[in-house]
Amino acid sequence: MARRWTREEEKRAPPPAGQAQDFAALRTGGLVGISDRVLADHLMLYQGYVAELGALDQARAQPTRFPPSIPSGELAALLASPVRDLALTVNDGQLGEAVAQVEGELTARGIVWRPLWYVGEPDFWTTDQATSINLPWYLASDRLWELVNDQDQRYTREEVVSILRHEVGHALGYAFEIWRDGLWRTTFGDFFAAYRDEYTPDPTSTEYVRHLHGMISAANAHYAQKHPDEDWAETFATWLDPGSRWREEYAEWPGALAKLEAVETLLSSWGRAYGPPINTRVGRRVPYTTLDGTVGEYLGLHAGPDPAEALLRRAPTVYDAVVLHEIYFGGLARGAGATGPGPAFAAAVGSGGFETWWADFRAVARASTGWALAVYDRRGGCVRNVLVDGHANGVPAGGDVLVALDLWEHSYAGDYGTRRDAYVAAWWRNVNWGLVDLRTMQAAPSTALLLPLAAPAVLALSAPASTEAVPPVAVLST
Q: What is the model's pLDDT at position 306? A: 54
Query: Is the pLDDT assigned to residue 453 strictly greater than 60?
Result: no
H/E segment holding residue 424: helix 420-428
Per the structure, the complete domain to which residue 387 belongs is given by 24-52+311-476
Torsion angles phi and psi, residue 378, rounded to 5: -60, -35
In terms of Cβ atoms closer than 10 Å to its own Cβ (0-12, 13-18, 19+), residue 393 is middle
Q: Rounded to an integer, what distance in angstroms lies between the CA atom of residue 239 and that of residue 261?
A: 9
Contact 336, 467 (CB under 8 A): no
Nearest to 242 by CA among 176, 159, 170, 162: 162
Q: By three-state DSSP, how is residue 15 classified?
A: coil
- Residue 196, CB-side half-sphere exposure with 13 Å CA sphere: 12
Same domain for 245 and 328, yes or no, is no
pLDDT category of residue 2 using cuts at 50, 70 and 90? low
Q: What is the model's pLDDT at position 58? A: 77
Torsion angles phi and psi, residue 120, rounded to 5: -140, -145
The answer to whether position 154 is within a domain reads yes
Same domain for 318 and 267, yes or no, is no
Q: Rounded to an integer, what distance in angstroms lies between the CA atom of residue 339 and that of residue 433?
A: 7
If one counts the domains in the chain, the total is: 2
Q: By three-state DSSP, how is residue 398 classified?
A: coil
pLDDT category of residue 309 using cuts at 50, 70 and 90? low
Same domain for 288 and 330, yes or no, is no
Last residue of a domain, one of 299, 334, 356: 299
Last residue of a domain, one of 299, 332, 347: 299
Q: Which of 50-64, 90-104, 271-285, 361-375 has the lowest mean pLDDT?
A: 50-64
The answer to whether position 18 is within a domain reads no
The answer to whether position 60 is within a domain reads no
Give me the residues paired with residue 118 across strands. Answer: 134
In terms of Cβ atoms closer than 10 Å to its own Cβ (0-12, 13-18, 19+), residue 366 is middle
Q: What is the model's pLDDT at position 191? A: 95
Q: What is the model's pLDDT at position 45? A: 87
Query: Is the pLDDT assigned to residue 214 strictly greater than 80?
Result: no
Q: What is the model's pLDDT at position 462? A: 44
**330: amino acid identity, one letter:** G
Angle, CA 151 vertex, CA 147 and CA 152 arms, to 5°: 110
Same domain for 277 and 327, yes or no, is no
More confidently predicted of 38 and 468:
38
Same domain for 44 and 170, yes or no, is no
The answer to whether position 9 is within a domain reads no
Q: By three-state DSSP, how is residue 363 classified?
A: helix
For residue range 157-173, what is the model confidence (pLDDT) as tens digits?
Answer: 999 999 999 999 999 99
The answer to whether position 246 is within a domain reads yes
Q: Rounded to an integer, what distance in angstroms lies between the CA atom of residue 440 and that of residue 453?
A: 16
Query: Is the pLDDT assigned to residue 441 strictly greater than 80?
Result: yes
Same domain for 188 and 39, yes or no, is no
Query: Is the pLDDT assigned to residue 63 strictly greater than 70?
Result: no
Residues 6+ apart with CB under 8 A from 29: 333, 334, 464
Same domain for 234 and 338, yes or no, is no
Contact 263, 235 (CB under 8 A): yes
Same domain for 289 and 323, yes or no, is no
Torsion angles phi and psi, residue 411, rounded to 5: -85, -15
The answer to whether position 279 is within a domain reads yes
**How does strand 116-120 pair with strand 132-136?**
parallel
User: Using only C-alpha atoms, what is the Rg of the chain?
Assistant: 34
- Report DSSP state, residue 65: -
For residue range 105-156, what is the model confidence (pLDDT) as tens digits?
Answer: 999 999 999 999 999 999 899 989 999 999 999 999 998 998 887 665 678 9
pLDDT category of residue 308 using cuts at 50, 70 and 90? low
Percent of the chain with pLDDT over 70: 83
Q: What is the model's pLDDT at position 458? A: 41
Last residue of a domain, one of 299, 327, 342: 299
Query: Is the pLDDT assigned to residue 380 strictly greater than 90?
Result: no
Region 75-84 average pLDDT:
90
The answer to whether position 225 is within a domain reads yes
What beta strand segments (E) does 249-398 contain? 371-377, 382-388
Same domain for 264 and 372, yes or no, is no
Contact 171, 283 (CB under 8 A): no
Q: What is the model's pLDDT at position 14? A: 38
pLDDT, averaged across the chain: 84
Angle, CA 222 vertex, CA 218 and CA 227 arms, to 5°: 115
CA 96 to mean position of chain CA atoms:
32
More confidently predicted of 476 and 381:
381
CATH of the domain at 324: 3.55.40.20
Q: What is the model's pLDDT at position 151? A: 65
Query: Is the pLDDT assigned to residue 466 strictly greater than 60?
Result: no
Same domain for 337 and 244, yes or no, is no
Q: What is the model's pLDDT at position 153? A: 64
Q: What is the model's pLDDT at position 475? A: 31
Contact 78, 143 (CB under 8 A): yes
- Residue 94, CB-side half-sphere exposure with 13 Å CA sphere: 17
Which strand ranges, in their side-by-side order, compose the sheet holding 382-388?
A: 382-388, 371-377, 399-406
Nearest to 121 by CA among 140, 97, 105: 140
Q: Rounded to an integer, what distance in angstroms lies between the CA atom of residue 473 and that of residue 323?
A: 28
Same domain for 286 and 206, yes or no, is yes
The answer to whether position 243 is within a domain reads yes
Same domain for 259 and 157, yes or no, is yes
Q: Which residues of 13-48 are buried (b: 16+ CB within 10 A; e: fewer)?
A: eeeeebebeebeebeeebbbbbeeebbeebbeebbe
Is the pTM higher than 0.75? no
pLDDT category of residue 20 using cuts at 50, 70 and 90? confident
Query: Is the pLDDT assigned to residue 382 strictly greater than 70?
Result: yes
- Residue 321, CB-side half-sphere exposure with 13 Å CA sphere: 21
